[in-house]
Amino acid sequence: MADEPTADTPRVAVLGGGVMGETLLSALLTAGWTAEQVEVTERYAPRADELAGRYGVRTGASNAEAAARADVVLLAVKPNVVASVLDEIKDALGEGELVVSVAAGLPIASYEKRLAAGQPVVRVMPNTPAVVGKGASAIAAGTHATQEHLALVERLLAATGLVVRVEEKDLDAVTAISGSGPAYAFYLIDAMAEAGVLLGLTRDLATKLAVATVEGSAALAAQSGDHPAVLRERVSSPGGTTVAAVQVLDAHGVRAGVVAAAEAARDRSRELGKQY
């Protein structure tokens, strides 16, 4: 017999079975939801079968059918199809049923104008490391979402990594730092590995060293709680190799480049949001 929903584990419909949809599904099961309390919709039948086989969840329903059975709807579809999905589920949503979206760029107002008056909406800006439980997600409440709704979303996302609350106005900046940020980190890893090859290491060894160094440095920064500048100084012996290297980074404007990149990402996020 299927488990009944409780106040702690309301029924959840995940609309969209792509990478982020599967990430959310896995996070829910890790956080204590059972397979009977979670439903996934996926139009591509082989993918739906794959998710059903891997997680034991129901995958065969339409968006509207899944939304009607749920207490919470997680939208994990591409931004360009969100409007059509909202039109599908609008009449199936129960009064007060929470809608959570991880679609990039779409402002909360674009959801609220398509849904029934008073429908609570929470917008999430995740990033790709959520796939391995090391993500950073920011959540923002819509007009009718309460502190209890935000707390529930934090529980839904807990297994994906860090979850922080922000005002919606700050989500463009969040996009620039944590949303696009993994690309900056991968860019640095690639550059470090390329430098290792130039200095005579094999590409495999250089890449392993670069990945482990960035991973370890991030873990140390997280665990120590010290300012990154303090941690950098601890590596930098007077007159040593690290000081010489950092001087070159500064001379090439790396810090200014990162700031400029983040500003460009923020501006682009704003532009995309205006399209909806």
* Known binding residues for NADPH: 63
User: What residue numbers does the annotated binding site cover?
Assistant: 15-20, 63, 76-79
φ, ψ of residue 76 to 5 degrees: the values are -125, 45
User: What residue numbers does the annotated binding site for NADP(+) cover?
Assistant: 15-20, 76-79
Residue found under tokens 């682009």: 268
Q: Is 244 exposed, middle or buried (0-12, 13-18, 19+ CB in 10 A)?
A: exposed
Is 99 in contact with 115 (CB distance < 8 Å)? yes
Radius of gyration of the chain (CA): 22
Is 77 in contact with 17 (CB distance < 8 Å)? no
In DSSP terms, 164 is beta-bridged to: 138
Measured in whole angstroms, how far is the alpha carbon of residue 65 from the centre of its chain? 26
- Number of neighbours of residue 53 by Cβ within 10 angstroms: 10
